[in-house]
Each structure stands twice: as structure tokens, then as C-alpha cells.
């Protein structure tokens, strides 16, 4: 039977004893799990390390996976979320440099002044995103990086679609406030962003 044609839940049922089935699940989900962890940790090195741990843990426990109406992706995100939470607990500071690079490198064009302002706004926004509580960061990553709908995000985060919609609105309001405050801070302390 071709494993490529099976859906995630069918693959998960046999993945405990069939390594090729697990390999197929890995191919389908490794990039999105990596993306999620990358934006939660802020650097590729830790993203690779934690992604490897997510799939090692998934491999050990996939035999116990039960179809409870929740997609297999949600199960993987749950593992990733727990490992990232432990990672943050083990570290007192959150690394910032690689994401800043990501922003700066992405924009080069004909209007350097406008782009510099846009780049600074992006920088402040990323700082504000990283200051958000874990669940709100997760929501933004799933919505903007993974392009998931509110219903899909709800399945992953174990909440209703309405709760996700409400959380999203509150998150955007918080971000607007945060960016505004950070802009004010930047204006009061010129050059402070250069030292970061």
C-alpha cells in the first residue's frame, strides 16, 4: 500500500511499527514544526536541535497516539510547544540577533529612507512579538507563517474558533500599544537600537 496516499491519522496508526510511515509523516511536517520553533527561539541552531527532539519524542510515543478528532499536526505542535517552553525556562534571556538579520536582509530597494523606517518598524514589531505571552506568539506564528485559519489554530491550541478570534484581536491591540511604546522609547533614547 502506498504510504503517500494515506492521510496523517492512518499513517500515525501504523507509524509505531512501520518506519516508512513515520518517515512519510516526518516529510509532511518537519518544515512547519521547524518554522514554528525557529520563530519561538529566534535562531536556526536551536530550531534544528529542538526540531530533532520533537521528532525523536514523536517517534517514541507515536505508538500511543490515539485519534481523538484532533489532527496529527496538533499533536506535533503540542510536543514542540512543550519543548520550547522548557527551552525558555532553561534560559533567562531570549536570543534576538538572527530574527533581526532576517528583517534587515529582506528589504533592499529604490527608496532607502522609507525602507529604513519600515525596517525599524519591523524590528520593533518583532521585539513586541517576542515580548508576548507564549500562547499569543503561537497564535501569530500559526496565522502568519503557517497561514492557518482560526478553526485550524483552535484545533492545534485546544480552543474554540471564537476564542482564537478574540485572542487574535487582543493580541493585535497589545502589539499596537507595544510598538507605540517602543517607538516612544526609541525617540527618547536616539541610537539605542544601534547597540542591539
Partner 1 sequence: MAGPRLSRKQIESLLTEVLTPVEPSAQFVHSLKARLVTYQGERPLSPWMLLAILGTAIVLALTSIGMLLRFIVGLVSLISLLGNRRNTNSGSRASA
* Residues in 86-115 that interact with partner 1 by CB under 8 A: 102-103, 106
Q: Is 76 in the site for partner 1 (CB under 8 A)?
A: no
Size of the site for partner 1 (CB under 8 A): 47
Select the span of 1-9, 34-42, 73-81, 85-93 touching partner 1 (CB under 8 A). Answer: 34-42
Q: How far is the CB of 152 from partner 1 (least distance, A)?
A: 16
Query: Which residue of 39, 72, 75, 77 would you call a contact of partner 1, by CB under 8 A?
Result: 39
CB 68, CB 158: distance < 8 Å:
no
Radius of gyration of the chain (CA): 19
Query: Which residue of 70, 126, 132, 163 would you call a contact of partner 1, by CB under 8 A?
Result: 126
Q: What is the DSSP letter of 3?
A: G
In sequence order, the 6+-apart residues with CB closer than 8 A to the CB of 85 are 134
**Any idea what the Cα angle at residue 89 is, between residues 64 and 35, rounded to 5°?**
65
CB 54, CB 79: distance < 8 Å:
yes
Nearest 10 degrees: Cα torsion 153, 156, 160, 163: -60
Residues that bind partner 1 (CB under 8 A): 19-20, 22-23, 26-27, 30-31, 34-35, 38-39, 44, 47-48, 51-52, 55-56, 59-60, 102-103, 106, 117-118, 120-122, 125-126, 129, 140-141, 144-146, 172, 175-177, 179-180, 183-184, 186-187
Amino acid at each position: 500500500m502506498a504510504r503517500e496516499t494515506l492521510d496523517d491519522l492512518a499513517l500515525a496508526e501504523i507509524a509505531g511499527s512501520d518506519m516508512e510511515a513515520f518517515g512519510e509523516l516526518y516529510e509532511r511536517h518537519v518544515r512547519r514544526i521547524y518554522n514554528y520553533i525557529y520563530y519561538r527561539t529566534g535562531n536556526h541552531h536551536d530550531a534544528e536541535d529542538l526540531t530533532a527532539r520533537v521528532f525523536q519524542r514523536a517517534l517514541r510515543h507515536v505508538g500511543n497516539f490515539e485519534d481523538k478528532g484532533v489532527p496529527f499536526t496538533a499533536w506535533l505542535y503540542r510536543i514542540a510547544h512543550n519543548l520550547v517552553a522548557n527551552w525558555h525556562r532553561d534560559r533567562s534571556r531570549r536570543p534576538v540577533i538572527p530574527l533581526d538579520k532576517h528583517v534587515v536582509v529582506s528589504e533592499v530597494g529604490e527608496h532607502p529612507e522609507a525602507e529604513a523606517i519600515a525596517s525599524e518598524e519591523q524590528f520593533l514589531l518583532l521585539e513586541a512579538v517576542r515580548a508576548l505571552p507564549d500562547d499569543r506568539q503561537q497564535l501569530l506564528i500559526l496565522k502568519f507563517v503557517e497561514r492557518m485559519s482560526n478553526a485550524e489554530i483552535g484545533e492545534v491550541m485546544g480552543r474554540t474558533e471564537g476564542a482564537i478570534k478574540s485572542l487574535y484581536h487582543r493580541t493585535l491591540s497589545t502589539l499596537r500599544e507595544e510598538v507605540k511604546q517602543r517607538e516612544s522609547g526609541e525617540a527618547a533614547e536616539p541610537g539605542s537600537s544601534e547597540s542591539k
